[in-house]
């Protein structure tokens, strides 16, 4: 039993926006396992999600949690005792459920925990990136074994545009607040250094440890340099502009 649990944890977990997941109903069998294939051709039987907790309902030994991302709200179930906060991250297994209208799925939590808003924002960024990468492969007709999914969901350019715009809009939705927070964190590190300079690579590493995505850190640094709030006295080294 323990070996099965360890093997399950080694399997990759998909990152899918909840709206796309809820539109998915194509199940395929491979190597004795059942996978859910989504409209942008993600294939998964485990899910890694991060979202905002909207409702918690206890049903005997089972707890039903409504959790939302910027696209939709998802129900997940657990028999574990969890310490919940505003945001939570979870890994869940997708279990096929036969219904009158066809097959659906339940998400049973494997592990979960409370997280900060920055972790949720990072999840949005990475999930959007992966969604756009899958769409790019579909547009280039380079997605392997995509024919069945394309036919099942009747995928065309308009539908790819829809999923692409959804991914882009989720990023736009968090960028304003995230950018402001990131700027404050970058400036805080530079201010702590005082008149000393800070190696760019060390600054990025420090902020990644605090939950910021590397590509966003680099973009914020470039914005601060452009605004004249910090500068590079030499390549790869940053220093705060003294007022």
Q: Where are the domains of the chain?
A: 2-155, 175-240
Q: Is residue 225 packed enough to be buried (19+ CB in 10 Å), middle (13-18) or exposed (0-12)?
A: middle
Q: Are 14 and 46 in contact (CB under 8 A)?
A: yes
Query: pLDDT value at position 83?
Result: 82
Closest to 75 in 3D by CA, of 98, 101, 49, 100 = 49
pLDDT of residue 175: 67
> What is the token pair recorded at 74?
């998802």
- CB burial class (10 A; 0-12, 13-18, 19+) of residue 73? middle
**2-155: CATH architecture:** Beta Barrel (2.40)
Q: How far is CA 23 from the centre of its chain?
A: 18
Residue 217: per-residue pLDDT: 80
Element (H, E) at 75: strand 73-78
Q: What span, in angstroms and rounded, lies between the C-alpha atoms of 168 and 1?
A: 42
Q: According to the model, what pLDDT value does residue 223 have?
A: 84
The token pair that represents 146 in the structure block: 């995509």
CATH of domain 175-240: 1.10.10.10
Q: Each residue's pLDDT tens digit in the chain (243 positions)?
A: 334 444 444 467 899 999 999 999 999 998 889 999 999 999 999 999 999 999 999 888 999 999 999 999 999 999 988 888 899 999 999 998 776 566 789 999 999 999 988 889 889 988 998 999 999 989 887 666 688 899 999 999 999 999 999 998 898 877 666 666 677 888 888 888 888 889 999 888 888 776 666 767 887 888 889 889 899 999 889 998 876
pTM above 0.95, yes or no: no
pLDDT for 16: 96
| Helix axes 200-209 and 157-193, enclosed angle (nearest 10) | 110
């Amino acid at each position: 039993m323990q070996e099965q649990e360890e093997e399950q944890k080694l399997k990759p977990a998909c990152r899918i926006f909840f709206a796309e997941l809820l539109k998915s109903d194509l199940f395929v069998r491979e190597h004795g396992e059942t996978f859910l294939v989504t409209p942008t051709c993600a294939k998964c039987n485990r899910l890694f999600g991060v979202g905002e907790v909207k409702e918690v309902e206890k049903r005997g030994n089972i707890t039903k949690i409504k959790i939302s991302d910027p696209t939709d709200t998802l129900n997940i179930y657990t028999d574990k005792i969890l310490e919940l906060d505003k945001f939570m991250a979870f890994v869940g297994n997708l279990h096929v459920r036969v219904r009158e209208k066809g097959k659906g799925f339940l998400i049973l939590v494997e592990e979960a925990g409370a997280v900060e808003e920055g972790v949720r924002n990072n999840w949005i960024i990475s999930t959007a990136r992966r969604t756009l990468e899958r769409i790019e492969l579909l547009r280039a007709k380079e997605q392997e074994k995509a024919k069945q999914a394309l036919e099942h969901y009747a995928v065309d350019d308009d539908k790819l545009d829809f999923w692409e715009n959804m991914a882009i809009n989720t990023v736009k939705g968090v960028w304003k607040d995230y950018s402001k927070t990131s700027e404050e964190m970058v400036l805080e590190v530079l201010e702590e250094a005082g008149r000393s300079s800070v190696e760019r690579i060390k600054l990025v590493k420090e902020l990644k440890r605090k939950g910021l995505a590397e590509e966003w850190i680099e973009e914020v640094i470039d914005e601060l340099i452009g605004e004249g709030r910090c500068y590079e006295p030499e390549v790869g080294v940053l220093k705060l502009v003294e007022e």
